[in-house]
Structure 1
């Protein structure tokens, strides 16, 4: 069960609330983009960042001189959101049009990953997540590159999940209107690969196992 705190309580659309931690993990693992809120001297800022999960933590990385990373590393309260858009719900009335989506909100504070070996492992974990087996072939990060990179993590201890997947919800008085109604799905398709110049006869790697039904099928 996901945590139930004042901040994770869903008041609007309570029937869309989901408390299964596996659903939270699935949204994070598919999205890999978090919108992170911080408060600066100039006011609030929300910045999209690559973010990935390892067990019960979310990780982000950036340059040591990044304003966002510096802000987050102070250990002040933060909020992350992940959203996957799955389609439009087209109703017979303008008012009842809606969307299918999966979203997650995580609250907490970030901390630095100081250990060089751990930092290297979680960065490589991200590469393996998007391209299984790739760390066996590429040059891994040097000590200099690791030193120039800040890695932060936040625990998945306070989070909420909301999933909208129901059909058309028209008023009874509109059901006889001669208007098409239903769902207009959105689907993310991954691939095919687009090779860089100068690869010669190098074989094309297969990363399809990371994407399941989202992988491009010719």
Structure 2
């Protein structure tokens, strides 16, 4: 169960809150994009970053000279958001149109992972998450590349999850309005693979469909 704090307690649409840790993990694992907020001298800024989860931590990586990474490396408080859009709810009235979505907000501070073997293991974990088996096939990162990469992690011990999945909620007075009402699903499909133009002819195409299950494009 997700713990509650002043920052994670939903004040609007609280009925959409989920306190299940498994829901938080599923949103992060499917999204893989975190919008990260920081405040600089010029004002607030939100930057999208690749992000992945290992157990109860979320990880990001970037170049050592990245302003975002340098800011987060100092250990200040930040906020990450993850959002998955699942479709439109089309109501009989314009006012009651809405959306299905799953979102997560994580609060906390990042800490640095500096040891080279730990960096490699955690970066390989990300590669394995998006393309199983690939970390054994691709050239491994060398010492120079690992040294040039900053790897940060944040614990998932202060987070909120909101899930919107309810059907059309029209007013009783609008129920006989002569317009179609219902749900317009939206989904992200993955694949098929598109080979690089300079790929050698004798290289076999890998199968990564198992990592995406029903999101894999079978056509």
Q: TM-score, normalised by structure 2?
A: 0.99
Deviation at 1:198, TM superposition (A): 2.6
Q: How does 1:8-157 map to 2 (within 5 A)?
A: 8-157=8-157
State the Cα RMSD in Å: 0.5
1:206 partnered with 2:219: no
Quote the Cα distance in structure 2 between the aligned partners of 1:132 and 1:212: 13
Quote the Cα distance in structure 2 between the aligned partners of 1:137 and 1:121: 15
Aligned partner of 1:188 in structure 2 is: 188
Quote the Cα distance in structure 1 between the aligned partners of 2:16 and 2:33: 22
Deviations 1:5-54 (A, max 9, x none): 00000011111000000000000000000000000010000000000000
Quote the Cα distance in structure 2 between the aligned partners of 1:211 and 1:157: 27
Secondary structure of the residue that 1:5 maps to in structure 2? coil
Deviations 1:158-215 (A, max 9, x none): 0000000000000000000110000111011000000002321211100001001000
Unpaired runs of 5+ residues, structure 2, are none
Quote the Cα distance in structure 2 between the aligned partners of 1:159 and 1:76: 17
Aligned residues: 218
Unpaired runs of 5+ residues, structure 1, are none
Runs of 4+ in 1 over 6 A off after TM superposition: none
Deviation at 1:136, TM superposition (A): 1.2
Q: TM-score, normalised by structure 1?
A: 0.99
